[in-house]
Amino acid sequence: MEMWRILGVAVLPLCLVSVYLSFISPPPIEFGAAAPPDVYRILYVHVPPAWISYLSMGFSLVSSIVYLARRSVKADAIALSSMRIGLPLSWVAIVTGSLWANITWGEYWSWDPRETTTLILALAFTGYFALRWSIPDIERKRRVSAMYAIASFITVPLSYYSAILWRTLHPIVITHGEIALAPHTGLILMINLATALLIFLTLLYLSYKVEIAGGKQ
Amino acid sequence: MYMELLLSYLLYWGILAVLTIYLLIKYRRARHES
């Protein structure tokens, strides 16, 4: 049995457990009594896509460096696959954050530093595919895409540290390895993050197999 | 508020499902062609 199939089978029950736990957990006190009681549950579908999009950029950075150093087609396939998963998830993080912001901040979009820098991150993902599709020559496509992926990684620390460096409405949940959440909320968030990580690895492996089997990229 | 909550969950899990189905279709095609 192939690795991605084993991962896929393992991740299915985890998905169900993650969704179930996301809805049964009691509201944490740190979100305040003024906020609607269940709105914080968006946390469980907002933080994982954001973190997985950071991870996608990280995978793409490393594989793009390997591609440029060794001209390895496999490394290019990993970079492309990683970007392919990060692209929709970065937009999911933006939309879920925007829906949450409308309830707690009173508007969908306020050009908050975290919102703005995460939008730049999502645009960087989108630009990768626009660039890749615009170059017909395969060798040049791979080389230019790798250079672009390396340069666009800067959007990850930019997005992550924006909430720490600048004045922002966005709460800082995880800093210096500590989670500023009630223990049960932190635990459920970690389970959701672990599930998202397993889904990412499964899809990455599946996409990699597609690219290697196709050979066109 | 519950509409936003529902939309967020549908979007996240829906995108993951669509991405999985898309990759499975591509994988089947790639295997069939090779």
Closest Cα of chain A to B22: distance in Å? 10
Domain ranges of chain A: 3-26+40-214
Mutate to test the interface with A, among B6, B11, B12 (most CBs of A within 10 A): B12
Q: Which residues of A are less than 8 Å from B19 in CB distance?
A: 84-85, 88, 203
| Gap from A71 CA to chain B (nearest CA, Å) | 23
**Helical residues (DSSP H) of chain A, grouped into ranges:** 3-24, 43-70, 73-104, 113-134, 138-152, 155-165, 183-214
DSSP string, B1-34: -HHHHHHHHHHHHHHHHHHHHHHHHHHHHHHHH-
Per residue in A51-100, pLDDT tens? 999 999 999 999 999 999 999 999 999 999 999 999 999 999 999 999 99
Exposure string for A196-213, b = 16+ CB within 10 A, e = fewer: bebbbbbbbbbbbbbbbb
**pLDDT at residue A20 in the model:** 92
Would you call A197 helix, strand, or coil by DSSP? helix
Q: What whole-number distance in Å separates Cα of residue A6 and Cα of residue A135?
A: 36
What is the C-alpha separation between A186 and A6, in angstroms, rounded?
A: 28
| Cross-chain Cβ contact A88/B31 below 8 Å | no
Q: Where are chain B's structural domains?
A: 1-34
pLDDT at position B14 = 96
Q: Which amino acid is at A173?
A: V
Task: Looking at the complex, report in whole angstroms how far the Cα of residue B4 sits from the nearest Cα belonging to chain A.
Answer: 6
Give the single-character DSSP code of A120.
H
Residue-wise pLDDT tens digits, B3-31: 888 999 999 999 999 999 999 999 988 88
From the number of C-beta atoms within 10 Å of its C-beta (0-12, 13-18, 19+), residue A57 rates as buried
CB A63 within 8 A of CB A79: yes
pTM: 0.90
Are A210 and B27 within 8 A, CB to CB?
yes
pLDDT in tens, A138-173: 999 999 999 999 999 999 999 999 888 887 777 776
**Chain A residues touching residue B33 (CB < 8 angstroms):** 213-214
Find how far residue B4's CA is from the centre of its chain: 20
Taking CA atoms, what residue in B is nearest to A88? B15
Distance from CA of A99 to the nearest CA of B (A): 6
Per-residue model confidence as pLDDT tens digits over A11-64: 999 999 999 998 887 776 655 555 667 888 899 999 999 999 999 999 999 999
CB contact under 8 A, A99 and B4: yes
